[in-house]
Amino acid sequence: MLKNHYNTDIVIIGSGIAGLITALRCAQFASVLIITKDQLAESNTHYAQGGIAAALNKVDSPKKHFDDTMKAGCYHNHAKIVNILTKEGPNALQELLDTGLIFETINNTLDFTQEAAHSIPRVLHNKDQTGKTIITHLIKQIKKEKNITLLEDTAAFKLLTKNNTCYGCYAKQQNRIITISSTITCLSTGGIGQLFKHTSNPKIATGDGLFLGYEAGCSLIDLEFMQFHPTSFCLDKTLNSYFLISEAIRGAGAILINQNGDEFMKNHHPNHSLAPRDIVSRGIYNQLSQGNTVYLDCRNSHKNKESDFPAISNAIAKEKLTLRNDLIPITPTAHYMMGGLLTNEHSQTNVTNLYAIGEVACNGSHGANRLASNSLLEGLVFANRAAKQIQKDLSKTQSSPTPHNKAITSPQPASNTDKLDYIHNLLWSQCGIIRDKDSLNTSLKLINNLLQSETYSDTSYTKLYQHALLAKLIITASLHRSESLGSHFITPTITDKIPEKSNPYWITQRKDNTPCYHDSFPSTSLSTPVVSKSDDVIVSARSSRNKGETNCL
């Protein structure tokens, strides 16, 4: 029966691996409500092909996994968090296996594949449908839990907050507004790929959690780091969402070539086609910019192509292509946001009783470039940690009446879809794989003009406003990192001076504040003063930082 108001101990917004694991763990001690704007199975996790990385291989170790993660992330990672991820990952994954989750085996031994930037095989998989396998397994468990209530086709559009504390959310369900009162709120809404013209993400990945958290007062960090997956199937260059071709297929021996048969990645990295994703994406982008066509060549790789990669084989078969006999045309697409809502090792944000887990969050585990197949592991490990902290919070938190605004309205569809396309094109062309400062500055002015034409209040806004605001935050972060690092590749222009190599720093943004620099990964409890912003301040702030100092611009 439909209700206008729900009371629960914990509301979880989103249904990927992070949200579902949190729900299962929390259901052991509290009432849980999961809301998802589509069907339960629809999430970025569902489309994860390659697998989940963890040091379960006998020749592997958490230390080796740690080293690979830090190296892929250009050492911009939060080392403490990476240590937690790689040390706790094997036990967390083993617990899932013990509940009946099945991965590929060879002679009754887990089959580990190798992906780009991994020094050894450590990726567990279920052919090329690992995410679907995990989600299907978790949903079966979810539906058995009496303490879990599920609301599908329900979209959260505003968090209920008072005095920097979250008490639940408003959501839209079947064209009506419902209120959800909760002691704890968890955002696990996934990524933002749909903000870019070309993406591997499903239609639901529109940055809802980032927007909700930002409007509630959360700090955002590392938004300049958007990962572009190198190999999406591309016969039609006008698509928005593309079918992803797993990196595991290159781990199995496939190579990247252009129409002349040149294995061009040899010119970019000693690991050739298995270089880190940011480097491969730029290598492909360079070829495409020269008018070349880029192909994935699987013809001379291992024999069991079709049986090992059935989803990929079926997708390309619709276009009368086979892995065994044909070259597969590919292109990079927007794939994964390394930045997000700033969280700590327990997945807590700076807003009391508000958690963020998975791709919507950033605890520093991925650095400037995510190591392949670490995302599912991050969702698993930090969902477990969140559940433990939530249990502690519930034992000491007194529920307060939910702040309620009777005049609130749900977000309205964009009145002009051309403007949405304009934003997505702008992010793709000017804040994509290759960036430059002049174009970013121009883009920021254009986005600001668009935002000024959109009405926004605390009780009403359009989806166009949400997309434009998130675009502004991404472009702003990109402008404030003037040197290339990982997935953020920015070229100096005639008007630029190439900056001197500076010490590591992190950039945060918060509503009604200007961007801040930090010389170490910041705490969620860090409070800093705000000073005026100018280019001169940016330069002097970075050059004058003392150890442990934060500068807001």
Query: Choosing from 25, 250, 277, 481, which is the catalytic residue?
Result: 277
- Residue 531: pLDDT band (50, 70, 90) is very low
Determine the longest span between alpha carbons in the chain, in angstroms.
Answer: 67
Write the secondary structure of 93-111 as one string of H (helix), E (strand) and C (coil): HHHHHHCCCCCCEECCEEC
Contacts of residues 315-320 at CB distance under 8 Å and 24 or more positions apart, as own/partner, are: 315/233, 315/243, 316/233, 319/235
- What whole-number distance in Å separates Cα of residue 264 and Cα of residue 241? 26
3-state secondary structure of 356: strand
pLDDT at 532 over 70: no
Question: Phi, psi (5° rounding) for residue 257?
Answer: -135, 165
Nearest to residue 431, comparing CAs of 195, 268, 189, 233?
195
Nearest to residue 480, comparing CAs of 220, 267, 283, 248?
220
- With 0-12 CB in 10 A as exposed, 13-18 as middle and 19+ as buried, what is 409? middle
Q: What is the DSSP string of 466-485?
A: HHHHHHHHHHHHHHH--S-B
| pLDDT per position as a tens digit, 307-321 | 889 889 999 999 999
Q: What is the CA radius of gyration of the chain?
A: 22
- Residue 414: pLDDT band (50, 70, 90) is low
| pLDDT per position as a tens digit, 370-399 | 999 999 999 999 999 999 999 999 988 766
What letter does residue 266 receive in the DSSP assignment?
Answer: G
Nearest to residue 470, comparing CAs of 264, 195, 159, 183?
195
For the question of residue 25 being annotated catalytic, the response is no
Q: Taking residues 337-361, what's their average pLDDT?
A: 98
Give me the pLDDT at residue 84, please: 98
- Average pLDDT of the chain is 89
pLDDT at 530 over 90: no
Q: Taking residues 14-28, what's their average pLDDT?
A: 97
| pLDDT per position as a tens digit, 74-104 | 999 999 999 999 999 999 999 999 999 999 8
Give the pair of three-digit tokens for residue 106.
Answer: 């060879």
Question: Phi, psi (5° rounding) for residue 548?
Answer: 80, 5
- What whole-number distance in Å separates Cα of residue 157 and Cα of residue 463? 10
Instruction: Report the share of the chain in percent with pLDDT over 70.
Output: 89
3-state secondary structure of 307: helix
- With 0-12 CB in 10 A as exposed, 13-18 as middle and 19+ as buried, what is 441? middle
